[in-house]
């Protein structure tokens, strides 16, 4: 067992001792491509979406120096026709590029890989003759042992993201290994790479253009292996006695291809282990970059970010993104990067993006506290004033603030039905996003749309119950709040309440407002 050659199955064996979700169906997909024209596979996913787990699983399955049947015989892949044909049949080269960058200086990376893999080959197979080049040594190994190599490269794009000064040399190395040729086909049965970004194409110099790519934008048949499915999370919650609805609110929201409900696996497992449903995003390096990327954009991007924080979806054109962390020609490029990083969920049928869940929403809400763009700063300032006026019961000022948002660029383009009204209200109260949990009842008939803000634990603030009306009156909105009683939403809340009734008159195009203060017992 080596570090880079044939690492064995001990790492995957450790994974199986935890609350493992069976994702071995991925192996069956890959087996279909072994020794075919489509044997080079690159799967890009956000951080925390199980890339390394998948890589260790593949090492255990394909490594010829160990017997992994006891690990896989009860897994999904064992039922596939190809299971016995490929298990423990290949020399595995396993490279964790992020880990390697921590061990050597960037300029030494390629030679370090060549030297160490070659040294392990010559130690394991003394009869192999060292070639004049690295690929020749690999070829001699195949000829001597009768077994091809299976390359597994985790975080393949780390050198390009973190040390761009060595990109050309690193890409030439990959080109030497995987550019379609008779030699490559003789050496490798297949290669599987994972990364955050899709492959950056640069014409004839593209080192790995022969790989079939499966990104979060176009995951194809790999979609169900991008994260946890809803049925998988439900089963885990039932087993652990935890509230599935909370897991859905905090960790669901991603849409990958045909899979419309994908959960963040890292956070799901953390929540199960710690028996606490909360944000685990901030523990990762990805969280620190969000404000940096958002601040790179201009006023238009800030407006879109405000819409997203308020709960709206926005359209994104992804085709021009150059698959790197440096080249941003438009706000669409920045938003596309946020999709690849897992900050936004993308629907490829509608080209719409949204903030996927409560966990990521909390990170976006932090942007409001550190806003630098003048428009976003002004929006926050006005929202803070609106919030103060709401607490003070200043209904005229509240109505005027909602009116100002309706007249601004932040309002929906078509303010012509009841669905536009809650958007305007959510923009107006945007500062509540990091202090409250927002609960919405989508419009269900003309003139009905509720927004409830419940203060987060530790916040000594009143709950806000907002009823919206279209061509009615603000008294009717307040009356409806009292009629509904909100038993489900408020059953665990014992503080004070502010009832806010807002009406929009379609003829006069004017908002009116009524505000009352109440206690939970007064609503029934």
- Report the 10 Å Cβ neighbour count for 178: 23
pTM of the model: 0.84
What are the two backbone dihedrals, phi and then psi, of residue 4, each rounded to the nearest 5 degrees? -120, -20
The alpha carbons of the chain give a radius of gyration, in whole angstroms, of 27
Whether residue 261 sits in one domain with residue 210: no
Query: Is 1 domain-assigned?
Result: no
Task: State residue 201's pLDDT score.
Answer: 59
Query: Is 488 domain-assigned?
Result: yes
Read off the CATH number of the domain in which 172 is found: 3.40.50
Q: How far is CA 227 from CA 249, 262, 431, in A?
A: 16, 6, 31
Whether residue 237 sits in one domain with residue 202: no
- Report the 10 Å Cβ neighbour count for 199: 23
Query: Is 58 domain-assigned?
Result: yes
Of 153, 187, 214, the one marking the end of a domain is: 214
Whether residue 185 sits in one domain with residue 245: no
Query: Is 131 domain-assigned?
Result: yes
Of 327, 349, 371, the one marking the end of a domain is: 371
Task: State residue 33's pLDDT score.
Answer: 96
Query: Is 177 domain-assigned?
Result: yes
Q: How far is CA 475 from the centre of its chain?
A: 43
Whether residue 354 sits in one domain with residue 244: yes
Query: Is 314 domain-assigned?
Result: yes
What are the tokens at 229? 């499915």
- Report the 10 Å Cβ neighbour count for 329: 10
Q: How far is CA 328 from the centre of its chain?
A: 20
Alpha-helical segments (H) within 351-491 = 358-369, 374-392, 395-406, 420-428, 474-484
Domain that holds residue 402: 374-523
Residue 127 gets the label, from left (phi > 0), alpha (psi -120 to 50) or beta, of: alpha
Whether residue 347 sits in one domain with residue 360: yes
What are the tokens at 49? 């979406």
Whether residue 181 sits in one domain with residue 83: yes
Number of domains in the chain: 3
Of 347, 371, 395, the one marking the end of a domain is: 371
Report the candidate in 98, 92, 108, 97 with the shortest Cα–Cα distance to residue 141. Answer: 92
Residues of the chain falling short of pLDDT 50: 204-205, 287, 413, 442-449, 487
Whether residue 406 sits in one domain with residue 324: no
Contact, 438 vs 311, CB < 8 A?
yes
State the number of CA atoms in the 13 A half-sphere of 125 facing the CB.
21
Whether residue 227 sits in one domain with residue 156: no
Query: Is 421 domain-assigned?
Result: yes
Whether residue 63 sits in one domain with residue 101: yes
Query: Is 489 domain-assigned?
Result: yes
Whether residue 438 sits in one domain with residue 314: no
Task: State residue 101's pLDDT score.
Answer: 94
Whether residue 384 sits in one domain with residue 317: no
Matching residue, tokens 């064995």: 8
pLDDT, one tens digit per residue, over 107-141 is 999 999 999 999 999 999 999 999 999 999 999 99
Task: State residue 442's pLDDT score.
Answer: 42
Whether residue 228 sits in one domain with residue 183: no
């Amino acid at each position: 067992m080596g570090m880079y050659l044939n690492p064995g199955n001990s790492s995957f064996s450790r994974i199986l001792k935890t609350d493992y979700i069976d994702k071995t169906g991925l192996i069956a997909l890959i087996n279909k491509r072994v020794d075919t024209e489509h044997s080079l596979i690159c799967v890009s996913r956000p951080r925390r979406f199980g890339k390394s787990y998948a890589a260790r699983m593949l090492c255990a399955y394909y490594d010829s120096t160990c017997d992994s049947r006891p690990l896989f015989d009860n897994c999904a892949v064992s039922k596939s026709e190809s299971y016995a044909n490929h298990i423990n049949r290949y020399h595995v080269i396993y490279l964790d590029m992020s880990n390697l960058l921590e061990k050597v200086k960037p300029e030494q990376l390629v030679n370090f890989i060549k030297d160490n893999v070659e040294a392990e080959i010559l130690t394991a197979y003394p009869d192999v003759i060292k070639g004049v080049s690295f690929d020749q040594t690999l070829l001699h190994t195949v000829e001597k042992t009768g077994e091809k190599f299976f390359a597994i490269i985790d975080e393949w794009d780390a050198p390009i993201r973190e040390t761009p000064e060595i990109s050309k040399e690193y890409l030439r190395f990959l080109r030497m290994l995987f550019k379609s040729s008779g030699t490559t086909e003789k050496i490798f049965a297949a290669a599987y790479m994972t990364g955050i970004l899709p492959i950056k194409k640069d014409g004839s110099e593209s080192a790995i253009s022969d790989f079939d790519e499966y990104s979060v934008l176009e995951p194809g048949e790999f979609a169900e292996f991008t994260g946890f499915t809803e049925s998988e999370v439900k089963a885990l919650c039932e087993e652990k006695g935890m509230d599935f609805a909370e897991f859905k609110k905090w960790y669901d929201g991603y849409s990958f291809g045909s899979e419309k409900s994908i959960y963040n696996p890292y956070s799901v497992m953390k929540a199960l282990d710690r028996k606490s449903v909360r944000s685990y995003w901030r523990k990762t390096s990805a969280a620190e970059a969000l404000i940096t990327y958002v601040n790179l954009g201009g006023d238009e991007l800030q407006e879109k970010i405000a819409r997203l924080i308020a709960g709206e979806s926005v359209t994104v054109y992804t085709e021009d993104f150059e698959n790197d962390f440096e080249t941003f020609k438009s706000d669409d490029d920045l938003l596309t990067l946020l999709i690849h990083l897992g900050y936004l969920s993308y629907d490829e049928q509608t080209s719409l993006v949204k903030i996927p869940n409560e966990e990521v929403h909390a990170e976006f809400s932090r942007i409001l506290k550190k806003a630098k763009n003048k428009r976003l700063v002004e929006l926050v300032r006005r929202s803070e004033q609106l919030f103060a006026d709401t607490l003070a019961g200043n209904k005229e000022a509240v109505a005027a603030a909602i009116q100002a948002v309706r007249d601004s660029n932040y309002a929906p383009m078509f303010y012509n039905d009841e669905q536009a009204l809650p958007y305007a209200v959510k923009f107006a109260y945007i500062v509540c996003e990091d202090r409250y949990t927002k609960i919405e009842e989508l419009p269900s008939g003309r003139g009905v749309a509720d927004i409830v803000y419940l203060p987060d634990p530790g916040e000594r603030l009143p709950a806000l119950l907002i009823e919206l009306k279209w061509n009615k009156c603000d008294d009717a909105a307040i009356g409806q709040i009292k009629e509904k009683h909100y038993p489900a939403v408020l059953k665990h809340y014992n503080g004070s309440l502010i009832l806010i009734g807002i009406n929009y008159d379609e003829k006069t195009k004017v908002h009116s407002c009524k505000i009352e203060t109440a206690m939970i017992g007064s609503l029934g």
